[in-house]
Structure 1
Amino acid sequence: MADNLLWYLRQHPQGKAICWGALPHLANTVEFLADAELKDYHPMGRTVKAALGPHAVYVLGTISGGGEYASGV
């Protein structure tokens, strides 16, 4: 995914892109999650940010801290 996005951005150097996706894919850091499965995970956001620089990439995301989903109520 990161390679495709970087290719597109390099084809349009004056443009801006908005990517809509799941936060785990767009994240730059995931180490704080302390999950063994994520130990070797390198999210797309990290690759893109490394290629474009720290001030060229921004991620805006939301995450719930509680509540219910699909409870049938």
Structure 2
Amino acid sequence: MQKRNQRVWVRYVVVPGWTDSDEDVHLLGQFIQDMKNIEKVELLPYHRLGAHKWEAMGEKYELEDVKPRQKNLLSI
């Protein structure tokens, strides 16, 4: 995408206890810092809206015990 100069939106899901540490966000920044075609970075709060899909597929939902954060806690 970068060679073709396609604009990219990075959508990063912030999952409490999984992807929400300072180190996690720092590593994301390191990964994308040299990419010149990043137009936007969105931090998406984790939610459980898709959990039923795992059950429908007969799969274990690994994030069953993860509680979504309050929206006002997702800030930089």
Structure with the larger RCO, 1 or 2 (CA within 8 Å, 6+ apart): 2
TM-score by length of 1: 0.31
Larger strand share, 1 or 2: 2
